[in-house]
Structure 1
Amino acid sequence: MEAHNIVPTNRIVTISNLTPSLFDQLHREHGETLSCPCSTITIPYSTFVTNMVSFHPVCSSVFVSREWIEGFYLPAANSYLLADFRTTAFSQFELLAALCSISNDIVSKALLDIQNNQLVTVELFEEKDIQLQVKAMVELVNATAYVQVTTFLQLVQMMYRSNTLVSAFGTNAVVQIGFFAVFITSTYHVDPNNNGQLEVYALSCTETIMVTPAVFYAQPLDTNVVDHTYYPVYYIAGSSYTDISASVDGFFGGCFPLDSVLASTLDCLYNLQCLEMLFDYFPALNQV
C-alpha cells in the first residue's frame, strides 16, 4: 500500500456586502488570513471623530468680563500691603481672563490639528483598533497643548525673574528715592512661625516663587517703606495696618501677580458671602 502526503490547498473566498458585524465575525474566525483592502487608504479623522471640549466655568463667566475686571481698579493700589488683595486684584483678574483666552486659542489649534490629521491604513481595522488609534492621537494632541501652555507660562516667569523686572505694584521690589540716589530693594517673605529678626528668616523674591493667602488689612495708606518690604509679618505687630479684617478664599498675594494667579483655586468666586465681601471692598463692582 502506497502512502501519499496530503497537501492543503489555499482557497480564496470573496465576500460581498460586508457589514461591521460580519467583519468582526470573520476577523475572529480568520484573523491571520483575512484580507480586507481599503479602496481609499487615507481618511480625515474629522469624518468619524467628534470632539467635546470643556473649559473651566470661570472662563465663560462674568468674572473674566471687562466690566468685572475694571471694578477692581484702584488708583492707589500699590499703597496697600503686599498680601492685601486690593494691591493686585485688578491685575490678577486681567491675567485670569488672559489665561482663559490663551487656553481657548491653544485648544482651537489642537482641534484643528485633529481635523487635519488623517488615518492611514491599507487594510480595514476593527472598531477597537480604530478606538486605540483615535485615543493615541487625542492623547498626543492633549499632551502637546499642555506643554504649549506650561512652557509659555514658565518662559514668562523666567523672563521677569532673570531680567529682574520690577512690578508696577511693588510686590517684588520696593523703590526708594533719596536725595542723591534711587534704591531698589527686593521684597521678602517671612515665615510667621519664626519669632526672630525678619532679615534672618526672610526669603527674597529674587530667589524663589512665593505666595501667601490674600487678605484685607485694616490699615491706612501711609505705611512706610519697611511695611512694604516684608510680608506677611511686619515690624509692628498688632498695629492698625497689620490687623487682618478679612481673607479672600482661594486667592493669594506674592512676588508677582502671575505667581498668585497660578496658585489660586478661586474658591471665593463660588462663595456668596465672599463675593459680597468683594463688593464691599471694591465699590465699583456694584456697577457691573
Structure 2
Amino acid sequence: MSRFYPLDFRLMAMSQFQILTLLCQTAASTINSALNQFLAQKMVTSQAVSREVFEAQVVALVEQMQTTTVANVKYIDQLVSLVIFNSGIMSALNNNYYIIQNPLQPGVYIQHGNYPVGNYIISDSSNLNYNYCDCKLMSNCTFQAGYYNYSIGPSHGVAGIYKPTPPPILIVPGMLVGCLPRDSMLQSTLECFYNRSCLNLIGISQAIIPLNAGASSRFRVNTIVNTLFEQLFVETWQNSSNFTSYYNACYPEACSYTYTQPGNFLYAITMLLSLIGGLTTVLGIVVPLLVKFFRRLLVKCRGDAVPTIENDLAGRRFFYFS
C-alpha cells in the first residue's frame, strides 16, 4: 500500500472499512449488553398501578436506558480517541507520521503529516498562502479522498505537507483521508455507497447492492459516520410492554377504590333521614331491653331488703332496710 499517495482513497480504504466493521460490531454488542441489563431489572410497585401509569413508567425507563447507552458510547469513543492521539501511535500507512532517512546522513528522523485545509484547487507550489492541519497537533485532520496517479514524491518530504497537485484523477464523494483511518472514517459519509454509478467508479463489484436511500430513514445520505455511530446505527427503538403480564405477576389479594363526588342538598337530607331512621330503630330495640333490665334489678334489690323498726328517745319510729 505504500506506493499510494497519502491523499489516495486506495491507501486508506481497507483500514477505514475495517474500522467501520468494528464500529458496527461495537454498536451491536453495546445494544445487546444494555438490553440484557435493562431486562434483568425488576419493576416494583407498592400498589398495582393502572395501565396508563404502567405504560408511562415503561416509556420513561426505556428512554433513560437509550440516553444512558448512547452517552456511554460517546464518552468511551472520546476516551479512545484521546488515548490514541496522546500515545503518538504511528500509522503504517505513512499518513500521520513517517520516517525519513537520508543516505548521506546517519540516523533517521520522524516527520509528521500536514493535510491541506480547503478545496482541491491548490496551484501555488510555495505552500505559503495556504493553511494546513498538522497531525502532531490534531488527530482529526482530513481531506477529500481521491485517486492519484502518483505515489510519494519529493513534495511528500517538504515539511510533511501532502499537496493535491497535480489534481486527482477522480474523487470519491463523501470519503475523507486524514491522520488516522479511524478519525477520517468517522468524519466521512457513505453517500457514494448509495449510488451504483459511484460504486462502479471506484471499482466495486456488481454483486454488491447499493445502500437503500429510503424516505423512511431518519438519517440523511450525507450523514457522517460519527453521527451514525453515536446513535448506534439504530433507525428506531421499538418498545413493547405487556400490562396483563405485569398485573398477573403482581396480582393483589384484594382491591378497593374510593368514589368522590360533590355533595348536594337532596343527598344531605337523604343521609340525615337515614341516620334518624336508623337511630329510631336502634333505640326502639335497645330502650325496652334496658328498661326491663333495670326493673328486674330494682325488684331484686327490694326483695333482698329486711325492714327494721327502732324507736328513738322521742318515741319516733324509723324504718330502714338492712
Same fold per TM (> 0.5)? yes
Q: Does 1:268 align with 2:192?
A: yes
Checking the alignment, whether the CA contact within 8 Å between 1:82 and 1:171 is kept in structure 2 is yes
Q: Give the distance between the partners of 1:250 and 1:192, measured in 2 at CA.
A: 15
- 1:51-200 aligned at under 5 Å gives the runs 77-178=1-102, 179-192=105-118, 197-198=126-127
- Cα gap change, 1:143/1:100 in structure 2, threshold over 3 Å: closer, same or farther? same
Q: Give the distance between the partners of 2:171 and 2:9, measured in 1 at CA.
A: 9
Q: Give the distance between the partners of 2:21 and 2:195, measured in 1 at CA.
A: 20
| Structure 1 unmatched runs, 5+ | 1-76
The CA deviation at 1:120 is 1.1
- 1:211-226 aligned at under 5 Å gives the runs 211-217=142-148, 219-221=149-151, 223-224=153-154, 225-226=156-157
Q: Give the distance between the partners of 1:252 and 1:189, measured in 2 at CA.
A: 11
Specify which of 242, 247, 257 is matched with residue 171 of structure 2: 247
The CA deviation at 1:197 is 4.5
Checking the alignment, whether the CA contact within 8 Å between 1:174 and 1:186 is kept in structure 2 is yes
- Cα gap change, 1:82/1:221 in structure 2, threshold over 3 Å: closer, same or farther? closer
Q: Give the distance between the partners of 1:222 and 1:190, measured in 2 at CA.
A: 16
Checking the alignment, whether the CA contact within 8 Å between 2:143 and 2:177 is kept in structure 1 is yes
The CA deviation at 1:196 is 8.5
| Structure 2 unmatched runs, 5+ | 209-322
Q: Give the distance between the partners of 2:27 and 2:16, measured in 1 at CA.
A: 16
Helix, strand or coil for the counterpart of 1:212? strand
TM-score by length of 1: 0.63
Q: Give the distance between the partners of 1:173 and 1:114, measured in 2 at CA.
A: 44
Helix, strand or coil for the counterpart of 1:153? helix
Which residue type is aligned with residue 107 of structure 2?
Answer: A
Checking the alignment, whether the CA contact within 8 Å between 2:95 and 2:180 is kept in structure 1 is yes
Checking the alignment, whether the CA contact within 8 Å between 1:175 and 1:183 is kept in structure 2 is yes
Matched residue, 2:133: 203
- Cα gap change, 1:166/1:112 in structure 2, threshold over 3 Å: closer, same or farther? same
Write the deviation string for residues 237-257 of structure 1: whole angstroms up to 9, x where unpaired: 4xxxx2211111221101100
TM-score by length of 2: 0.57
Q: How many aligned positions are there?
A: 200
Question: How much identity, in percent, do the aligned residues show?
Answer: 25
Checking the alignment, whether the CA contact within 8 Å between 2:3 and 2:152 is kept in structure 1 is yes
